[in-house]
């Protein structure tokens, strides 16, 4: 203090030593920083797509500087691969793994029973990954084509092959796999962008009935029922 009791001003050299600079960022383990960068990157890639996303914005959202971001992910392409493509592919493989439960079914009715819980989980997964899937497929044509041809299309074909023993003659099982994937994609898109009419479990039950029993009425059964009921009185 000076002779009047007021605190002395810090010398310039003391200021330069960092007493008045911004506090350092809190230390976080490398794995935690990496996870935070990936989470921020997913949000930014979904918002701005691959071309529009900036590593500076991702770093700011993750609470790191760009040097730290590039230490974990050397390029934006690598970051996109780890934040978008990898979790998407892992989820799709997990969805395919659950399709194998159908192999134990001997009839469409048995498959319908086995598929009830699996169909709901498929839709839950599709809802969760849909923003990443849309980003991966449509933000960059080359990346989308690569993802589809090298990862999604083989899984869709495998899905059809698992269902082959239960598919009616004259219908391509791989087309059934593609149609199944397409319907789940459409349901998730409607729930993401539109206003769902039913809860997800009800929607899953409808999709399950459609996939295992079809949607067309059996006209012969209708005629038989009408004959048995007799004319209306």
Look at 38-42, 96-100, 110-114, 174-178 and tell me which has the smallest mean pLDDT: 96-100
Sign, CA dihedral 132-134-135-136, equals positive
Give the per-residue pLDDT at 158.
86
Give the per-residue pLDDT at 183.
93
Q: What is the mean pLDDT of residues 111-131?
A: 84
pLDDT band, residue 30 (cuts 50/70/90) = confident
For the ranges 51-55, 160-164, 209-213, the maximum mean pLDDT occurs at 51-55
Across the chain, how many H-helices and E-strands are there?
A: 12, 0
In which region does residue 214 sit, left (phi positive, over 0), alpha (psi from -120 to 50) or beta (all else)?
Answer: left
pTM: 0.70
Do residues 161 and 99 touch, judged by C-beta distance below 8 A? no
**pLDDT digits 0-9 by tens, 132-154:** 999 999 988 898 999 899 988 99
């Amino acid at each position: 203090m000076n002779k009047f009791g007021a605190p002395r001003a810090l010398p310039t050299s003391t200021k330069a030593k960092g007493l008045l600079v911004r506090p350092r960022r809190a230390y976080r383990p490398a794995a935690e920083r990496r996870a935070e960068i990936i989470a921020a990157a997913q949000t930014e890639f979904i918002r701005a797509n691959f071309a529009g996303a900036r590593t500076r914005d991702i770093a700011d959202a993750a609470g790191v500087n760009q040097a730290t971001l590039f230490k974990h992910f050397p390029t934006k392409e690598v970051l996109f691969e780890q934040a978008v493509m990898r979790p998407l592919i892992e989820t799709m493989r997990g969805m395919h793994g659950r399709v194998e439960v159908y192999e134990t079914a001997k009839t469409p009715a048995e498959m319908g029973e086995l598929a009830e819980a699996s169909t709901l989980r498929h839709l839950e997964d599709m809802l969760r990954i849909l923003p990443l899937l849309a980003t991966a497929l449509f933000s960059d044509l080359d990346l989308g084509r690569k993802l589809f041809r090298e990862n999604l299309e083989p899984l869709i074909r495998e899905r059809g092959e698992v269902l082959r023993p239960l598919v009616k003659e004259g219908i391509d099982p791989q087309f059934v796999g593609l149609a199944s994937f397409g319907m789940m994609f459409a349901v998730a898109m409607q729930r993401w962008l539109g206003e769902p009419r039913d809860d997800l479990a009800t929607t899953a039950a409808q999709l399950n009935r459609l996939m295992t029993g079809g949607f067309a009425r059996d006209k012969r059964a209708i005629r038989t029922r009408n004959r048995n009921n007799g004319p209306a009185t």
